[in-house]
Amino acid sequence: MVFRKPPDGGWGWVIVVVSFFTQFLCYGSPLAVGVLYLEWLDAFGEGKGKTAWVGSLANGIGLLASPVCSICVSSFGARPVAIFSGFMVAGGLMMSSFAPNIYFLYISYGIVVGLGCGLLYTATVTITCHYFDKRRGLALGLISTGSSVGLFIYAALQRELIDLYGLDGCLLIVGALSLNILACGSLMRPLESSDSPPSEKTCVDKVPDQYFVYHEKEKTVEENISILEKGYVDEKCVNNMPDFKQDSILNKNVLSSINVNEKDTYKKKVVEQTNFCKQLAKRKWQLYLNYWEETVVLFKNKVFSALFVAILLFDIGGFPPSLLMEDVARSANINEDDYHVPLISIIGIMTAVGKLTLGILADFKWVNTLYLYVTTLLMTGVALFAIPFAKSYLTLAMLSGILGFLTGNWSIFPYVTTKTVGIEKLTHAYGILMFFAGLGNSLGPPIVGWFYDWTQEYNTAFYFSGFCVLLGGFLLLLAALPCWNACTSQTPKLPPNTYSYKVASSA
């Protein structure tokens, strides 16, 4: 398939709009699951830690399965994956309305909806990157706000639907709304050249295998593998070729005499394919070895190792407020009449503001994005420590806004990763970091819920959360300090695509 140059506009803006609404529709309910969390607590009577697994799985499973999601989008394309995932999200939400117990919700809401969201996120980001090059940062920033706006609207919407139709009716209606993802996905037209038909294999590539002879000492591994990967077709392909093409092929590949005993030919074919399979197996195994060697090299980078710990601890400690803040307010005996805007809605809208603001700051040359990211971690830890002292709606609303704004540091995380490991290792490094981010998302709310089950109050839980985030921030700051330069003065000159703090990250 031949792709055109990214147009940086045109139909690309349609892609941005439908990707925005796709993330709005798929992530609205999972991110605002805190409203449903209260209803599930009352409906099933399970502990807070056990119930929190539903929302944490829905938000973490997509990140955990990010390698699988990438393979699916690469193999089938963004549009088919988006349409299929739309059915997954809608079906999972509707199935959840019939859940007889909390364990059913682990599957229907946690895994099915969560995996559908992960597939949709990968599809929207991939198709947007295909259509934009120079304006890619702007386009990705616009579509990423879809999830934040969805959190803001769905928090109030789900609460209103629960009051009108109950929990089951709310999930059915929200699931029906998610079917609009199918319309959005159908507009994700792949960027391919309409006037350049896909290249077909020439007849030279389809020569029957009996015209090849395997010479173990003369052929390289790559040649053997390329022969194995060639398709076998009827001999008509060769017979129908012009004479000069047949001559060129026969001069190189055919036997001196075609009238070879069929039994000998079959044996040679078996030997050829056996050796080719061995070479393929060796090649695949070498690729796996190279992958793990590159992973080891990444973790020898001090900043990357600290970044891995920081993102894990940040998601363990920083994600629970978006899920549990409503229950924190109820545990503090705040009167529901004092609620003007749901706390989760405040987190959602301020997250969108934070993503845009921090993204703009990261574009300034005088701003070191690593230190900017560390600052957001340290401030998040302080805000988490302050939650146990909030006893009114106003103070909880202010803390929710601060935490939401600081959570917008997700928009600068790819910048930090790129400047730490270089653009050539970004895909490998970012995949590892996202896996552990998903692990933190999955573990954070249940851990906070278990703390409540043990102590019957949230104070200890949020002290633990704040400590986790502060620890990750201090470790990352320590790894990036310029004082490490003196210890690594003998290191080779850095590549041009890394920041100066990369010096502090050398093994």
pLDDT tens track for 86-126: 999 999 999 999 999 999 999 999 999 999 998 998 888 87
Whether 473 and 376 map to the same domain: the answer is yes
| Mean pLDDT (whole number) for 192-221 | 43
Do the Cβ atoms of 381 and 473 come closer than 8 Å? yes
Closest CA to 172 of 163, 182, 181, 162: 162
Do the Cβ atoms of 415 and 372 come closer than 8 Å? no
Do the Cβ atoms of 151 and 345 come closer than 8 Å? yes
DSSP state of 77: -
Domain presence at residue 237? no
Domain presence at residue 228? no
Q: In the chain, how many domains are there?
A: 2
Q: Residue 306 has what pLDDT?
A: 87
Domain presence at residue 221? no
* Whole-number Å distance between alpha carbons of 378 and 212: 66
Domain presence at residue 322? yes
The domain that holds 59 is classified in CATH as 1.20.1250.20
Where are the alpha helices (H) located in 300-368, listed in sequence order? Answer: 302-318, 320-331, 343-362
Lowest-confidence region among 45-49, 55-59, 431-435: 431-435
**HSE value, Cβ hemisphere, 13 Å, CA-based, for 402:** 18
Whether 287 and 141 map to the same domain: the answer is no
Do the Cβ atoms of 145 and 128 come closer than 8 Å? no
Whether 29 and 145 map to the same domain: the answer is yes
Domain presence at residue 1? yes
Domain presence at residue 267? no
Sequence letter at residue 107: I
* Whole-number Å distance between alpha carbons of 307 and 413: 10
Domain presence at residue 325? yes
Do the Cβ atoms of 426 and 418 come closer than 8 Å? yes
Whether 49 and 176 map to the same domain: the answer is yes
pLDDT tens track for 171-191: 999 999 999 999 999 999 887
Whether 184 and 306 map to the same domain: the answer is no
Whether 334 and 185 map to the same domain: the answer is no
Q: Residue 485 has what pLDDT?
A: 55
Sequence letter at residue 493: K
* Whole-number Å distance between alpha carbons of 29 and 86: 14
Mean pLDDT taken over the chain: 76
Helix 459-480 × helix 369-386 angle, to 10°: 160
The most confident of the ranges 69-83, 90-104, 362-376 is: 90-104
Whether 174 and 288 map to the same domain: the answer is no
Model confidence at 402, pLDDT cuts 50, 70, 90, reads very high
| Mean pLDDT (whole number) for 42-56 | 85
Whether 32 and 168 map to the same domain: the answer is yes
Name the phi and psi angles at 32, rounded to 5. -95, 30
Q: Residue 382 has what pLDDT?
A: 93
- Tokens 């985030």 belong to which residue? 469
Q: Residue 123 has what pLDDT?
A: 87
Closest CA to 277 of 232, 204, 221, 220: 221
| Mean pLDDT (whole number) for 261-270 | 62
Sequence letter at residue 247: D
* Whole-number Å distance between alpha carbons of 170 and 163: 9
Count of Cβ atoms closer than 10 Å to residue 195 Cβ: 6
Q: Residue 227 has what pLDDT?
A: 46
Asked if pLDDT for residue 467 goes beyond 90, the answer is yes
Q: Residue 37 has what pLDDT?
A: 86
Between 40 and 197, residue with greater pLDDT: 40
Judge residue 65's burial from the number of C-beta atoms within 10 Å of its C-beta, 0-12 exposed, 13-18 middle, 19 or more buried.
buried
Model confidence at 293, pLDDT cuts 50, 70, 90, reads confident
**In the structure encoding, which two tokens stand for residue 259, read together?**
């009238």
Whole-prediction pTM:
0.65
Range of the domain at 186: 1-191
The percentage of the chain sitting over the pLDDT mark of 70, rounded to a whole number, equals 73
Lowest-confidence region among 64-68, 108-112, 251-255, 352-356: 251-255
Count of Cβ atoms closer than 10 Å to residue 16 Cβ: 24
Whether 415 and 289 map to the same domain: the answer is yes
Whether 178 and 286 map to the same domain: the answer is no
**In the structure encoding, which two tokens stand for residue 198, read together?**
């896909």
pLDDT tens track for 114-173: 999 989 988 888 788 778 777 766 777 788 888 888 888 898 899 899 999 999 999 999
Whether 296 and 180 map to the same domain: the answer is no
Domain presence at residue 342? yes
Asked if pLDDT for residue 447 goes beyond 80, the answer is yes
Q: Residue 4 has what pLDDT?
A: 62
CA-based torsion, 40, 46, 51, 54: positive or negative: negative
Q: Residue 10 has what pLDDT?
A: 80
Whether 135 and 284 map to the same domain: the answer is no
Asked if pLDDT for residue 244 goes beyond 50, the answer is no
Sequence letter at residue 365: K
Q: Residue 291 has what pLDDT?
A: 66
